[in-house]
Amino acid sequence: MRFRVDRDVLADAVTWTARSLPTRPPVPVLAGVRLEADTTGTVQLSSFDYEVSARSQIPADVSEPGSVLVSGRLLAEISRALPDKPVDVVLEGTKVIVTCGASRFTLLTMPVEDYPNLPVMPPTTGTVDGDELTHAVAQVSIAASRDDTLPLLTGVRVEIEGEKVTLLATDRYRLALRELTWKPSTPDVSTVALVRARTLLDAAKSLGSAGSVTVALATGTGVDMIGFEAAGRQTTSLLVDGDYPAVRRLFPDETPIHAVVSTHALADAAKRVSLVAERNTPIRLSFSEGQVVLDAGQGDDAQASEAIESALVGDDISVAFNPQFLLDGLGALSTPFVRLSFTHPNKPVEFTGQQTLDGEDNQEYRYLLVPIRFAS
């Protein structure tokens, strides 16, 4: 195997392909990235850990076709450190020689014949705008659990009904929902999948800038899988197995009280006030006519308080939140104003966005946050 490739092209492709390699692979070959050079002038890079696979295809000047398996992380570090010159990659016996300008590296190979076959990309289910997918996944994944002892809650539920896609995630303390439109491969497509939040976020971030992203789902076929493809890159992941809880019913049907506040002003005030909030202690928000007062700390501890403008509809109300969960929800909103809708001081509060102080709220993105009980 022998080929020449642009340094930046190689570095980007290796870094992307090797990004999900396991740090402690069950077998050594799974720490590798497979390079397959073809006489058509392409090199395909592949990685697989039996759960997530990645493929990247790049143009190259191939003089001798062949395939080789080398340490993915080491190749990624080397390719990023090379000078800005063409890179020559040559297989000599059991070693790969990487030459770039005056730099020369020798890498040991791993037995490529022991590398597992990568899964086949499922049939295309639809396409979605990359930027919108990236934004939507970021909004929802903040609410997914990071506790691997509850694998169901580490996933994002993807509901597809024709042209509408709904993303849902919860860690039991908050719930995020985002709706978006896409172009389905068939107009009557209807399916549900549970995708690991980390995998979905990584795929959306790394492929979203490519424009249109192809989404492929395989469910009920023995191996449930989701795949994403854009700009010559493919990634697949096994779906999370299990029945996701019926979380939609947690959104209230009616909210007799709501307040509208500047999103930016509320986030800034919450950041300042939370500086005195010790770990796992809440900040309190007291809504009354014309303002909301944020305060944290009590007794002999450090204390902080700040009042900002707010429009209230309904009775005065006070709630307390985990500061980080509050800031996560506010940060996910891309509107100038946030509407907080209440049913009771101890019941979950719904956050939605508004373009104007007295306008209608946008139900496209909804963030439900469970308040923390506090002593009166």
Kindly report the CATH number assigned to the domain that includes residue 77: 3.10.150.10
**How many C-beta atoms lie closer than 10 Å to residue 123's C-beta?**
10
The pLDDT tens digits of the residues spanning 83-129 come to 999 999 999 999 999 999 999 999 999 999 999 999 999 999 999 99
Which among 14, 18, 335 has a CA at the least distance from the CA of 202? Answer: 18
Q: Does pLDDT of 376 surpass 60? A: no
Q: Does pLDDT of 14 surpass 80? A: yes
The pLDDT tens digits of the residues spanning 57-79 come to 999 999 999 999 999 999 999 99
The pLDDT tens digits of the residues spanning 126-178 come to 999 999 999 999 999 999 999 988 899 999 999 999 999 999 999 999 999 99
99: its two tokens:
């030459």
Mean of the per-residue pLDDT values of the chain: 93
Domain span at residue 87 reads 2-114
Regarding whether 320 and 212 lie in a shared domain, the answer is no
Strand order in the sheet with 32-38: 66-71, 32-38, 42-48, 52-59, 233-238, 225-230, 212-218, 124-129, 183-184
Regarding whether 128 and 244 lie in a shared domain, the answer is yes
CB 309 within 8 A of CB 343: no
In the DSSP assignment, the letter for residue 373 is P
What average pLDDT does this structure show over 235-254?
92
Q: Does pLDDT of 29 surpass 90? A: yes
User: Is 376 among the domain residues?
Assistant: no
Regarding whether 240 and 128 lie in a shared domain, the answer is yes
Among residues 248, 270, 305, the one where a domain terminates is: 248
Regarding whether 93 and 142 lie in a shared domain, the answer is no
User: Is 87 among the domain residues?
Assistant: yes
Give me the pLDDT at residue 23, please. Answer: 85
Strand order in the sheet with 317-321: 304-309, 291-296, 283-288, 317-321
Rounded percentage of the chain residues whose pLDDT exceeds 70? 99
User: Is 145 among the domain residues?
Assistant: yes
- How many domains, in total, are found in the chain? 3
Work out the pLDDT band at 375, boundaries 50, 70, 90. Answer: low
The pLDDT tens digits of the residues spanning 316-335 come to 999 999 999 999 999 999 99
CA distance 127 to 349: 33
Among residues 91, 114, 137, the one where a domain terminates is: 114
Q: Does pLDDT of 340 surpass 80? A: yes
Regarding whether 355 and 343 lie in a shared domain, the answer is yes
Give me the pLDDT at residue 129, please. Answer: 95
Phi first, then psi: give them for residue 112, nearest 5 degrees: -65, -25
Q: Does pLDDT of 279 surpass 80? A: no
- Round to the nearest angstrom and report the end-to-end CA distance of the chain: 74
CA distance 87 to 105: 11
What average pLDDT does this structure show over 253-266?
96
Regarding whether 20 and 82 lie in a shared domain, the answer is yes
366: its two tokens:
């909804």
Regarding whether 135 and 30 lie in a shared domain, the answer is no
Task: Specify which residues 110 forms β-bridges with.
Answer: 69
Regarding whether 213 and 129 lie in a shared domain, the answer is yes
What average pLDDT does this structure show over 356-376?
89
